[in-house]
Amino acid sequence: MTKTGFGVRLRKYLITGLLVWLPLAITFWVLLWLVGLLDGIFASVLTGVAAVLPGATAAKLDDLRHIPGLGVLLVFTVLLVSGALVSNVAGRWWLAQWNRVLTNIPVFKTIYNSVKKVSDTLFSGSGNAFRTALLVQYPRAGAWTVAFQTGAPAGEVASHLGPDYVSVYVPTTPNPTSGFFLMVPRADVIELKMSVDEALTYVISMGVVPPAPPPGPDLDGKSPPTR
């Protein structure tokens, strides 16, 4: 084997090995970052609580900050218990009272109400937000991108646009948490059969990881056999 051939094969093996380990390494990095973030929040809460407690109790609380991952466990427990409590009538009543107090605090209520409306819309099982992947022309006619339907225009906006418009979110790549909000005619969008997860993967990978093709007829015109 020539030196050139050996070098090409070596580079191929290195790139292949990198492709094997890179997704795993990035996944672990994101998880470790998230654990560190939650532990930092937990440590801040402990500092605040320890400041108002006696010295002996505060020292015991200080020992908890050295347990890695405890903040994640406690946050998970709080979320689980909170969800269980507000799933019954009494819990929903207390939640309504809590929301009533928070929505009457000046300045705070503006941010809280906005975030609550968005979260209720996105995570509601009966809502249509981010349930459908679309193709839209953006940023100009003839250029197409993947978007997600977030609903339909309402209120004063709907009175100016008419009923045949949809609200869409066009994510940026590779960071889909930022993007653009558009209201476009329903006739100008193409509804995709791919799932939202497949569409997000397509956007994040900048088109490198295409979604699986939808089931259709074989090359001979026959439909694929059902299993």
The CA-CA-CA angle for residues 174, 175, 181, to 5°, reads 115
Stretch 182-196: mean pLDDT: 93
- pLDDT for residue 72: 72
- pLDDT for residue 59: 66
10-22 pLDDT per residue, tens:
877 787 777 778 7
Does pLDDT of 143 surpass 50?
A: yes
The CA-CA-CA angle for residues 49, 53, 58, to 5°, reads 80
C-alpha distance across the termini of the chain, in Å: 48
Q: Where along the chain do its domains lie? A: 1-106, 133-204
- pLDDT for residue 54: 66
62-89 pLDDT per residue, tens:
666 667 667 777 777 877 888 888 777 7
- pLDDT for residue 169: 92
147 with 205: CB under 8 angstroms?
Answer: no
Stretch 187-203: mean pLDDT: 90
DSSP character at residue 55: H
- pLDDT for residue 120: 64
Stretch 32-47: mean pLDDT: 77
- pLDDT for residue 227: 39
Does pLDDT of 224 surpass 50?
A: no
Range with the largest mean pLDDT of 12-21, 81-90, 105-114, 143-152: 143-152
Query: For the chain, what is the radius of gyration of the CA atoms?
Result: 25
